[in-house]
A and B are shown apart, each in its own frame.
Chain A
Amino acid sequence: MAEFLQALAQGLLIGSTYGLLALGMGLVYGVSGVVNFSHGDFISLGMFLCLALYSAFALDPYISLVITVPLMTVIGGLVYWYLLRPMVGHQFLMVVQLTLGLSLVLQNGILMVFGGQPARTPSVVESKLLILGDVVVRVPHVIAFVVSFAMAIGLYIMLRSTDFGRSIRAVHQNAHSAALMGIDVSRVQTLTFALGIGILAIAAALLLPGTPIQPAQGLRYTVITLIVVALGGMTNFVGIMLGGLIIGLSEAYGTIYLSDTLGMLLPYGIFVLIMLFRPQGLTWSSSR
């Protein structure tokens, strides 16, 4: 029973961050139809930036956010404006190839700068534990959970009640009509992509404490994110967060009850099963 609860706690805590990763991808897909295959490598970039800032200035990953979030947001904006924007809307396959290429560039760029050995970025809270009865949770996981849900709620409120948020939804629902209202569609798409990458910088710092990182890990995060987004129904906020929790839980239960390696396969097995029986995703309506 203790094992069961332990896995439950761990799965929920990590799953919330998976949900946050997927929200960024879902938003970008919603406004520009871009599926970003370099998503996971941008997470890597965020993590290695934290490592660099730790090596140079001994900054804690949580503090590095002050630098990495604006930096990654700007990088995201530039990547969309100069690389993706010319292709978006008429060259779907080119966009896929471009983001795949970007993934290789990022991965090898990181490899070139940091080398291939697994690295760690220490944080003051890294080894702190929270003990609730039989369940022991790591403080970084709790922080990740709280921040991820706070971010998700904040994004939701932003989409509902600000002009920028309404512009994002307008472009998602009908880009032509949005342009006729005087919304600059390319600008909204660029800012949304930048926002998505900025969110990744936060997610990277949340996942970092206690996790060894290496340059080739990006693909794993990309795949997890794609699965969560597909489960959630691409642009459905609640569905995506729920999808994140399901993947987090299946990973946690898999590692505890099966084995380390087999356990990592469980989320994919569950994904295939859900897609077999509910190809439309988890939630009833997939529109927003």
Chain B
Amino acid sequence: MLEVDHLVTGYGGVPVLHDVSLTLNAGEIVGLLGANNAGKTTLINSLSGMYAPMSGRIRFEGHDVTAMTPKQRVEIGIIQVPEGRLVFPDMSVRENLLLGGINARARAHRPRTMDHVLELFPRLKERLGQNAGTLSGGEQQMLAIGRALMAEAKLLMLDEPSLGLSPLFVQYIFGIIDRLHAEGLSILLIEQNLNLTLRHAQRCYVLERGKVAIEGASDVVKDDPRTRRAYLGL
């Protein structure tokens, strides 16, 4: 479904990602691991079209999307839940969800999608009229995921969904991720939490200083001694 081919991305002419290749098959959860500054967020933002790559190709469902704008990528179903959630703080939960579904493809069925999202997150239903800035971290994460589902994601890219959440909420969010996976959604999961990612993803890539250091099935990556070393950035 997603093929990243020898991608090089950087800022101001200095590459951050060197020659990264990865694939994600339809219906898979793929984990993206790595220490801070390994380039995970840069990679996910490149997939969202926030930066033009210096070289390399990105293909989605057989189409070359390398030159597409962020807006066009949202319209074909590549949706990111950003690190830190970045909900719109001074807008209500309802308005945040409506904005999630603002793209041309999703706009027409927003009421129906919203019913589905609110059934998935009953807590959001209770808070519909409340400003997103007043929600707890866990609730904001629910909102951020709900907002991405409103966009009718085909590929959901989650950047650090467990960041700053209590263990109970982490468990809840990963329960949701499993449920979305069971419903057939393809998921790219960036996480600091190594064990949790290895448990939920079928395959993992470990990024180290902007390069793919290790890749393979989660069990294999788990037992590879290099994983922990790369992860600790040693």
Contact = CB atoms under 8 A, between A and B. Distances in A.
Q: Is the interface of A mostly helix, strand, loop or mixed?
A: helix
Given A169-B90, A173-B91, A180 B48 contact: yes
Nearest to B106: A182
A174 B86 contact: yes
A180 B99 contact: no
B50 interface: yes
Nearest to A167: B102
Interface size class, chain A:
10 to 19
Given A166-B98, A181-B99, A183-B102, A173 B82 contact: no
A169 B91 contact: yes
B88 A173 contact: yes
B80 interface: yes
Contact of B88 (A169, A179, A182): A169
B89 A181 contact: no
A181 B82 contact: no
A134 interface: no
B192 interface: no
Given A180-B80, A181-B100, A173 B95 contact: no
B82 A170 contact: no
Given A174-B86, A176-B86, A182 B103 contact: yes
A260 interface: no
A180 B70 contact: yes
B75 interface: yes
A274 to B, nearest CB: 24
A217 interface: no
Nearest to B91: A169
B50 A181 contact: no
Interface of B: 48, 50, 69-71, 73-75, 79-80, 82, 86-91, 95, 98-100, 102-103, 107, 147, 151
20 contacts: A169-B88, A170-B88, A170-B99, A173-B88, A173-B90, A174-B86, A174-B88, A177-B88, A179-B50, A179-B71, A180-B50, A180-B70, A180-B79, A181-B151, A182-B71, A182-B73, A182-B75, A183-B71, A183-B102, A184-B71
Interface of A: 163, 166-167, 169-170, 173-174, 176-184, 287-288
